[in-house]
A = this chain, B = another copy of it.
Amino acid sequence: METIIRKDIHNSGIPAVCQSCEARHKGVCGALSPEQLQRLSKHTSKSVHEPNTDLSTEAATAGRYANILSGVVKLTKMSRDGRQQIVGLQFAPDFMGRPFAQNTDVEAVASTNVRLCSFPVSVLEELLEETPAMERRINQQTMAELDEARDWLFALGRKSAQEKVASFILLIATHADPERVVDQALVIELPLKRADIADFLGLTIETVSRQITNLRKAEVLEVIDRYRMRIPNLIVLRKAASAGNG
C-alpha cells in the first residue's frame, strides 16, 4: 500500500500537499488533472482557525475560496434585535465560496478548530472556466446543501423539541466521521455547544439541555462529557428523530 502511494507521488505528479487530501477524493479538487492540481497548489495556503473565528469576511477581504480540511463550520444568520439562527453546517471536504455569484448574507464561523486550504478567487475561476466537471462538483454540493436545508425546514416547522434534538445528534452521528465504534455502539463528539445547538434547532438552551436529559433517561444515548456521547443503538436514535429524515 505504501509503495503504491509512493508510486503515485512520482508517476502521477500529484502535489505533495494534495496527496492525502480529502478534497481531492470527495471534494471539488477531484475534478482536476495532476497538471491543474500542480497549478492550483502553487497558490494554496493552509491555515488553522480557532473556534468562533469569522471565516467569511476573512475570506472575502482576502479574495479567497477554501476547502475545509477538518473541523466544522457553522453558517449563521442574525437579525438586528439579536435573534440568531444557524442555517447550515459544513464539514470536510466541503468547498467554501460562491464562484461567479454574489455572496449571501450568512456568516461562516468556525465551530471547532478548523483547518482550511485556501486559494485566490482568480485562480479557481480560471480553473473552473476550463474544467466544467469542477463546476459541476460545486453545483452538486450546492444541491446537497439545498436538500439539507429543506430537511431542516421540515424539522424546524414540524418536529417536537425532542425530535429536533434527536435529529441533530443523528446528523452528527452520520455526518461527522464515526469517532469510534465500541461494541456496535457509536461514540460521537458534538461540534457545537448547547447554545449553538439551540440556535440550530430554533430552541432555547434550557430546552436543549432538558431534551438531552430526556433522551438519556429514555436510554437513547449516554452522556460521556458535555461534548461527547455514546449511542448504543442508531436505530433507536433514528426512531427518536422520527418523521422526515426517515
Contact = CB atoms under 8 A, between A and B. Distances in A.
A90 interface: no
Number of copies: 2
A244 B79 contact: yes
Contacts of A136: 100, 135
A114 B104 CA distance: 30
Interface stretch (A25-33, A149-157, A229-237): A149-157
A142 B106 CA distance: 16
Contact-size category for A: 35 or more
Interface string A74-87: 01010111011101
Contacts of A201: 157
A154 B75 CA distance: 11
Contacts of A132: 132, 135
Given A77-B244, A132-B132, A88 B202 contact: no
